[in-house]
Amino acid sequence: MTSYTNQDNIKSRSEVRTVTHIPTFPTDTTLNTPEQRVRFELLRLAFFTLKLRKLEQQPEEARKGKTEEESTFEFHCSLLRHAIFQQVLALIQLDARDQAMQIISTCRAS
């Protein structure tokens, strides 16, 4: 059995801190350029669209059952549709409507 000393723990922590820096990734939590914001909003749109597609592709038998489960399923789908709508509105304001529609059609077709 190997025992680790406090010195080993400090050494491993310092190694973790020396991770290479990715220059294209923002170091703070703000999106600095409109292009960064558009990319972020497009990524969110793709996530919500794929999540909705996954829910809708569940077999009909799995969705049917207790009325509580059916209403939960419909509620989740409704929330995702609303999130997608809000993302499209945000992307229209950022002048990225065509990209948004392309992502939605690609995600629905896959």
Q: Note whether residue 60 is domain-resident.
A: yes
Angle CA(33)–CA(34)–CA(36) in degrees, nearest 5?
Answer: 65
Segments forming the whole domain that contains residue 88: 34-109
Q: What is the dihedral of CA 38, 20, 28, 49, to 10 degrees?
A: 30
Q: Which residue type does 102 have?
A: Q
Residue 37 pLDDT > 80, yes or no? yes
Task: Give the number of other CB atoms < 10 A from CB of residue 40.
Answer: 14
Residues in the chain: 110
Q: Note whether residue 4 is domain-resident.
A: no
pLDDT at 69: 77
Q: Note whether residue 13 is domain-resident.
A: no
Q: Note whether residue 12 is domain-resident.
A: no
Does residue 53 contact residue 84 with C-beta atoms inside 8 Å? no
Q: Note whether residue 11 is domain-resident.
A: no
With CA atoms as reference, report the closest residue to 84 among 70, 68, 105, 69.
Answer: 105
Task: Give the number of other CB atoms < 10 A from CB of residue 76.
Answer: 13
Q: What is the pLDDT of residues 85-109, one digit of tens each?
A: 999 999 999 999 999 999 999 988 8
Structure tokens, 105? 């059609």
Count of domains in the chain?
A: 1
Q: Note whether residue 43 is domain-resident.
A: yes
Residue 4 pLDDT > 60, yes or no? no
